[in-house]
Structure 1
Amino acid sequence: MSETNAHEMNQNSDDGRHPLLNSTGKNLAQIKNLSVSFMTDAGSIRAIDNISFSIPKKTVVGVVGESGSGKSVTARSIIKLLPETATTAGAIYLARRDGSEEFDVLSLKPEDLQHVRGEEAAMVFQEPNSVLNPVYTIGWQIEEGLRAHGMSGRQELRAKTIDILEKVGIPYAKTRVDYYPHQFSGGQKQRIVIAMALVLNPGLILADEPTTALDVTVQAEILDLLRLARDEFDASVLIITHNMGVIADIADQVVVMYRGHVVEQGDVEQIFYRPQEDYTKRLLAAVPRIGQKLVVRDDDGIAIERKADWHKQPIAVEAKGLTITYPGHLLQPDFVAVKDVDFTIHRSEVLGLVGESGSGKSTTGRAIAGLQRISGGSLKVLGSEMNGFKEREFKPKRADIGFVFQDPGSSFNPLMTIAENVAEPLLVHKKYSSVADASDYVGDLLEMVQLPRTYMNRFPHELSGGQRQRASLARALALKPSLIIADEPTSALDVSVQAKVLQLFKRLQVEIGFACLFITHDLAVVDMLADRIMVMHKGSIVEHGEASQIMQNPQNPYTRKLLASLPVPDPREQREHRGQLRELLKQE
């Protein structure tokens, strides 16, 4: 294990990043020999094993690593937000913001912890919907933290709440302070959660995957907000993420974790340009980059290529003037989700569909699969017209269409084994009479997606995220479809797991030759896989062309904004990238 001393990392870059400091009184928090174990039915499980690192004042520290490496447990330990089944050892020294004293968080009594949480350190959780109470206004919820720490004046509470909402960029804060969480977008809800963390002006912000499910444009805004916490509020930020582009964009220093250990730490440039540990090198190598085409090779190392040119293949999907409208309810007007869209997908082609949340991507994919009725225009799927189609007539075609959902955890039946879930389409379409009858074929499918046959009898919750996504791909391929719709299949995966899933997807697409609509908001991922790319914005296609042309020479301002918003896993390049984004935003 490599644990570089902080004074050896004191390299200041020229983009405003803060140097790493380690002299007495310069650290806001120090984690020393921290170990955390959880008691389970199977015995004690050690989640963190003897880790040590510091969080200097007015510094952004990024913690990276795969799921299960102990990142979130480390952050929660800093404010002792662990379940009763947790046992801790070691010490976490946290200095008060005013520098009056330093204390060990792990030794504090519950009544003392109440003052520490919010005043000295505050947490920004990954999913704002799990934090915000849907039955209270966001103003009341921010005021609740202020009331818990002694503020009682009604006018003062409201004024402070409106002020913090304005600082985090919520428009019309004076009016929207009385809105409920469901009246805000995902990015705005994340801003509100950050406002709740900042309102008591703590010295330390703990941000656990604050940008994971956000579009790249919203992600850039949230990262600017965390920079504001450091530069304007003089706070330190501990940000947990599996996105190395985010780390390159915002972190001053980096802590790399693996299986409960700190394997490497250093300033951001040392980690990216001079990594010492093999795991860090593998983590960086797995990050998708613009212009990096995915090449799959056979056992002899020879690149596997498609046998046929997709340009000359028959058309599998053709849309002309495609329009999809959701009817309004309770006197609300109809909502046009997809407006007058034209496109084609050839057999053996991968068409990438990118855009922000709400742009109409998933609606388009669901319409192709016959899961969403279309309102106007024409949509021909494998020769069948979808405008006004009858389910009875279209059902045989469903066997030729596979769907890979964004979250396999919610698309699998949790009461059924993996074998039963994967075999379900085979039974529905009467290819086999029972799961037992299909077991040999299901085992072959699992091996094709690099899962052992022994996983057949496991339940979905017993598999990791990457394993569930592979099982989801096996189910989509069970009926040997000629068309696959993949809706954000890698968005929630670690970069190393994502790389394996993408390699597998590419190999199967090359070998089987199915047509594919690949829906994502990650431009680097779609650039690796897609032959052509469509960019969707507010229900319309704003740009459409060969992948290389879209990525290297985008014509539409919205496409240029999307590309500029994507954080690049290179600190120096990302510095220029961020400047380009600011220039584009000025032109709007």
Structure 2
Amino acid sequence: MTQPLLSIENFSASFEAKTVVDQLNLSINSGERLALVGESGSGKTVTALSILKLVEAAKLSGKILFQGQDLLQKSAQEIQRVRGADIAMIFQEPMTALNPLFTIGEQIIETLVAHQALSRTAAREKTLELLTRTGIRQPEKNINSYPHQLSGGQRQRAMIAMALSCKPKLLIADEPTTALDLTIRARIVKLLIDIQEEEVRKEGAQGMAILLITHDLNLVRKFAHRVAVMERGKLVETADTQTLFEQPQHPYTIKLINSIPVRNVLPVASDARTLLEAKQLRVEYPLPRKGWRGLFESHAFTALHGADVVLREGETVGIVGESGSGKSTLAQAVLNLIKVKSGAIEVEGAPVYSLSKRLQRELRARLQVVFQDPFGSLSPRQTVRQIVGEGLALHFPDLTEEQRYQRIVQILSEVGLSANVLDSYPHEFSGGQRQRIAIARAFVLSPKVVILDEPTSALDVSIQKQVLELLVSLQKKFGLSYLLISHDLTVIQALAHRVYVLKDGEIIESGDTEQVIQQPNHPYTQALVQASL
């Protein structure tokens, strides 16, 4: 048998007394695409970083053999020669991985000069070729662009170009599409597959291998030849992709595959009254003009063009679109957190923008929001009791201390938390538990309408399913209406009765969720659906 390109043997990694990777055995062959799958804390990223000795303050043991040489035994100078040249890495968030002080061209040229000993002129020509190959528009122009001047997808392409610059034998991709929109994600995945298959055609059995680190099972199904599943630092199952999805063996693998959201909606009464209605909403943001004229003049950027949205009692309406489509602007307009240029919002028939400040504050109790990032939306200085009880103190000041306590305990019970957590702080909880606290904070006020702004995108797949099931059960029990903001069509399909598709601030398609997803009319909707499959 031919020797694996990379062989990880009895590898363990620990931080002080905590072992995060435990006796891992894994290999990848030249020309292979292997996905290492697991949820947060499974040890997959530590494993990937350890290959290039990028983990600080960790005790590493075992062997990581690359072409027969143990990388863990190499000196700092020796491993530096391997990084980028033989093994390259694409990180999850290119904005933090790229140096903001240098253009993307300078960063790729520097890599080529250091590892390929090219002249700067030759390195620049090679950089332009790489930018063209990875699909960056106008490479002659964008070679001089700084990372902040590119979109997320363009930055990720620049990082891929940098990773490919020295023709590595192994490419490690650590969650390379997590921060990207659906259609951009699909293009990046196709780009990686095309590049890898091109390398294999050129080099035969010695073609580039890709190790993909991810928790996205849809991505794994499209991308990988073989899958390895990690749970709490241990490798629990390895199989070719088709076998793993069709015949999973380990309970954890089965749990992951079954965590993909399934449709679970309650019927809406035919005579259900309208709770929220947005009429011809238009939102503009002033932008200064370039140059000295910007000191005196500005022009407007229209973020939302005449949006009409209707939400009925007991209904979930999905708002779907990619970054910059206007989803968050619409949510902020509904919550009366930004000024609208024109249009109106009515909640239970009351025109929001013409209400007095007192009535607007009373309205906020009936109109609540659950944000995307539970850690960022919860005050780290407040206990659970203070976080959940703050709204009660503001909107229901006549409640006694005991009545407030009972309301807090009751809603915590509804979201699956006990009274024992009352005096704990957000950092003491997992991501799923923090989102339950955020849901309790919104629901303790007995709202009629709840805006869910990407409520599960920061969560692992199994936790995501639990939160979605919780939201459905609370809707059933309290007759709530949800305005669900998301870029994930699987979540929209699981929860929403109807959906509005936003692109560049305009609603381009709307209707019954199942009908829109199964028979999309607009090319943009078709692209979204295709990218989510």
Q: Please state which band the TM-score falls in when normalised by the shorter chain.
A: over 0.9
Residues 341 and 540 in structure 1, CA contact (< 8 A), matched pair in contact too? yes
2:7 paired residue among 1, 18, 30: 30
CA, structure 1 residues 156+438, in 2 after alignment: closer, same or farther (shift >3 Å)?
A: farther
Residues 321 and 341 in structure 1, CA contact (< 8 A), matched pair in contact too? yes
CA, structure 1 residues 257+435, in 2 after alignment: closer, same or farther (shift >3 Å)?
A: farther
Secondary structure of the residue aligned to 2:331 is helix
Match status 1:294 vs 2:267: no
Residues 426 and 432 in structure 1, CA contact (< 8 A), matched pair in contact too? no
Secondary structure of the residue aligned to 1:396 is helix
1:222 paired residue among 184, 188, 197: 188
Separation in 1, partners of 2:87, 2:380: 37
Separation in 2, partners of 1:386, 1:185: 35
RMSD: 1.9
Gaps of 5+ in 1: 1-22, 96-101, 296-304, 568-588
Q: Deviations over 1:331-382 (max 9, x none)?
A: 4531111101112111211001111111111111111111122111222233
Separation in 1, partners of 2:196, 2:331: 41
Separation in 1, partners of 2:178, 2:248: 24
Q: CA deviation at 1:564?
A: 0.7
Separation in 1, partners of 2:350, 2:446: 19
CA, structure 1 residues 228+315, in 2 after alignment: closer, same or farther (shift >3 Å)?
A: same
Aligned pairs for 1:471-490 within 5 A:
471-490=437-456
Separation in 2, partners of 1:564, 1:414: 40
2:431 paired residue among 436, 461, 465: 465
Aligned pairs for 1:182-197 within 5 A:
182-197=148-163
What residue is the counterpart of 1:575 in the other structure?
Answer: none
Separation in 2, partners of 1:184, 1:454: 47
What residue is the counterpart of 2:50 in the other structure?
Answer: 77
Separation in 2, partners of 1:181, 1:266: 38
CA, structure 1 residues 192+382, in 2 after alignment: closer, same or farther (shift >3 Å)?
A: farther
Size of the aligned set, in residue pairs, is 519
What residue is the counterpart of 2:275 in the other structure?
Answer: 316
Match status 1:89 vs 2:47: no
Separation in 2, partners of 1:385, 1:448: 32
Separation in 1, partners of 2:73, 2:219: 34
Separation in 2, partners of 1:385, 1:180: 45
Q: CA deviation at 1:94?
A: 0.7
Separation in 2, partners of 1:473, 1:559: 30
* One-letter amino acid matched to 1:274: Q
Match status 1:325 vs 2:295: no
* One-letter amino acid matched to 1:468: R
Q: CA deviation at 1:148?
A: 3.6
What residue is the counterpart of 1:17 in the other structure?
Answer: none
* One-letter amino acid matched to 2:276: V
Aligned pairs for 1:515-534 within 5 A:
515-534=481-500
CA, structure 1 residues 493+196, in 2 after alignment: closer, same or farther (shift >3 Å)?
A: same
TM-score, normalised by the number of residues in structure 1: 0.85
Secondary structure of the residue aligned to 1:179 is coil
Match status 1:235 vs 2:194: no
Q: Deviations over 1:358-410 (max 9, x none)?
A: 11111111111111221112222333324466645411111111101011111
Residues 349 and 514 in structure 1, CA contact (< 8 A), matched pair in contact too? yes
What residue is the counterpart of 2:317 in the other structure?
Answer: 351
Q: CA deviation at 1:434?
A: 9.4
Q: CA deviation at 1:150?
A: 6.0
* One-letter amino acid matched to 2:163: A
Separation in 1, partners of 2:114, 2:348: 61
Moved more, 357-366 or 547-556: 547-556
What residue is the counterpart of 2:131 in the other structure?
Answer: 165
Moved more, 254-263 or 334-343: 334-343
Secondary structure of the residue aligned to 1:294 is coil
Separation in 2, partners of 1:71, 1:65: 7
Match status 1:407 vs 2:373: yes
Residues 336 and 353 in structure 2, CA contact (< 8 A), matched pair in contact too? no
Secondary structure of the residue aligned to 1:238 is strand
Secondary structure of the residue aligned to 2:49 is helix
What residue is the counterpart of 1:506 in the other structure?
Answer: 472
Q: CA deviation at 1:430?
A: 4.4
Separation in 1, partners of 2:213, 2:402: 44
Residues 113 and 120 in structure 2, CA contact (< 8 A), matched pair in contact too? no
Q: Deviations over 1:274-330 (max 9, x none)?
A: 211121111111112xxx4226xxxxxxxxx56xx4441221111221111111124
Secondary structure of the residue aligned to 1:399 is helix
What residue is the counterpart of 1:275 in the other structure?
Answer: 248
Residues 283 and 495 in structure 1, CA contact (< 8 A), matched pair in contact too? yes
* One-letter amino acid matched to 1:32: E
Moved more, 366-375 or 225-234: 225-234
Separation in 2, partners of 1:385, 1:241: 46
Residues 423 and 435 in structure 1, CA contact (< 8 A), matched pair in contact too? no
Residues 374 and 387 in structure 1, CA contact (< 8 A), matched pair in contact too? no
CA, structure 1 residues 166+448, in 2 after alignment: closer, same or farther (shift >3 Å)?
A: same
Q: CA deviation at 1:433?
A: 7.7
What residue is the counterpart of 1:448 in the other structure?
Answer: 414
Residues 376 and 387 in structure 1, CA contact (< 8 A), matched pair in contact too? no
Moved more, 424-433 or 228-237: 424-433
Secondary structure of the residue aligned to 2:287 is coil
What residue is the counterpart of 1:246 in the other structure?
Answer: 219
TM-score, normalised by the number of residues in structure 2: 0.93
What residue is the counterpart of 1:53 in the other structure?
Answer: 26
